[in-house]
Every structure is written in structure tokens, then in C-alpha cells.
Amino acid sequence: MDPSLTAPLDESRATLVRRARAIHRSLGATYPDAHCELDHLDAWQLLVATVLSAQSTDRRVNTVTPALFARYPDPAALAGAERADVEELIKPTGFFRAKTDSLLRLSAAVVTDFDAQVPGKLEQLVKLPGVGRKTANVVLSDAFGVPALTTDTHFIRLSRRFGWTQATDPAVIEVEVGELFQRRDWNTLNHRVIWHGRRRCHARRPACGACPVAKYCPSFGEGPTDPKVAEKLVREPRG
């Protein structure tokens, strides 16, 4: 390996880009099947699932969405739903009263303002109640195939650990990380980074000694470096 790729302090812009892309490739080899872990069939289902995923796990969301979508298959149906019924259906995801409120307002706005179709542009999506930039980018990226970086908690933590950015503002991180990669690679980057964050590069005790990108990572040593100890920290979650 090129030793310059391990030297993030005062590294040149060109080296930073090469190191970032080496991490992307290595994560791709480790997680060849990385994909959105929220089950969905279309943009509407993904939008709803993403709202439900706040303060929850994808796995838990996936346990409630089949019944929710069976009962309320489109924005018009959900906009006319009984609040208590929706609350009961989504209860396992937590914060169910606030989330029900969001879903009812969101579905009504999609019906009223966008002819019951989820819009495919960032500036339209963020006008919907309860839809922030991150949720909008998830929908753009995974439902519409538009290049967009989904700066969730994992993406932010790992981007900073990799030395891709020092920023804490997700909008700034989006720009700074986006500049290191070709736009066509943004959507695969989202999934690979998020999968790595869920499986190895945990917020607490990252599995540094069992990490495929350790040789490119300036934060190596934030977690146990002993391979036997680190291996025990590797998780295979769905959500």
C-alpha cells in the first residue's frame, strides 16, 4: 500500500481524495451487498419508513410497516386515517404520538400540494412537514436514484473519524465529503459507510482490530486494536 495514504495530518488534497476513495473501495469489498435497510417498495413507503426510523432502528420499523401499508396503501388513505389506529400500528417504533402527527400532516401535504405523488426534488421534499434534509436525501438517493449524501449519525461519525471533514453541521459535511467523490459514487458511499458504522465502527468501542479500512483510518486505536477483542465487537444487525 502507498504509505502516504496513512498520513492524514497535513495531507495534501490529492492524498485525501485518494485515501477517501480507497476507503470507499475497501468498504465495497467488505459489504458488497450494502443497501438501504428500510423495507420499501416505492418513494412513499420509504418516506414513511424514514420518518418512523427517527429514534428507532430499521429492524423495528420493518416490523410495523407491512401492516401500516396494508391498511393505508397511499398518501390519501393515510391522510384520512384515524389517529388512534395509526398510533397503535406504529407504537413499537417509539414516539408514536409525535410520529403519527407527522405522518398525518405529511400525507395530507403530499395529497394537497403534490397531487398525491412524492416529489423528486430536494427543494420540494424539504417543504413537506417533518421532512428535513437528511430524510429528503434518503428518498432522493434510494427511491429516485438521484445522487445525494445521507448524513445520518453513522455517516457523520465516520466521516469525521476518517478525517474527511472536521465539520459537525450535516449540511457542511454533505458538501465537504461530496467533494471527495464522484457524484455517481455518492449513493453507494452512503450505504457502505452506514453499514460499516452499524457493524464495526460503533460510536462506542469501534472494532478497530477487525476493521478492513484500519490502514487508511487516522482514528485507528479509538477502539480495541487486538483482533480477538475487536472481532467480538463486530455485529451483523439489520437496523
Return the residues of window 22-41 that contact ligand SF4 according to CB under 6 A: none
Interface characters, 203-232, with ligand SF4 (x: CB under 6 A): ---xxx--x-xx--x-xx-xx---------
Cβ distance to ligand SF4 smaller for residue 144 or 220: 220
Q: How far is the CB of 53 from ligand SF4 (least distance, A)?
A: 23
> What values do phi and psi take at 105, rounded to 5?
-70, -40
| Binding of residue 173 to ligand SF4 (CB under 6 A) | no
Inter-axis angle of helices 153-161 and 186-199, to 10 degrees?
A: 90
Q: How far is the CB of 8 from ligand SF4 (least distance, A)?
A: 11
Q: Enter the DSSP assignment of 12.
A: -
Nearest-angstrom CA–CA distance, 206 and 193 = 14
Residues that bind ligand SF4 (rule: CB under 6 A) add up to a total of: 14
Interface characters, 124-163, with ligand SF4 (x: CB under 6 A): -------------------------------------x--
Nearest-angstrom CA–CA distance, 28 and 212 = 10
Give CA angle at 211 (150, 169), nearest 5°.
30
Cβ distance to ligand SF4 smaller for residue 99 or 161: 161
Cβ distance to ligand SF4 smaller for residue 121 or 205: 205
User: Any residues with CB less than 8 A from the CB of 189 and at least 6 apart, and which?
Assistant: 24, 149, 177, 181
Q: How far is the CB of 162 from ligand SF4 (least distance, A)?
A: 7
Contact 210, 56 (CB under 8 A): no
Task: Pick the closest to residue 154 from 177, 128, 127 (CA basis).
Answer: 177
Q: How far is the CB of 221 from ligand SF4 (least distance, A)?
A: 7
Q: How far is the CB of 232 from ligand SF4 (least distance, A)?
A: 13
What distance, in Å, lies between the first and last C-alpha atoms of the chain? 33
| Binding of residue 200 to ligand SF4 (CB under 6 A) | yes
**What is the contact surface with ligand SF4 in residues (CB under 6 A)?**
161, 200-201, 206-208, 211, 213-214, 217, 219-220, 222-223
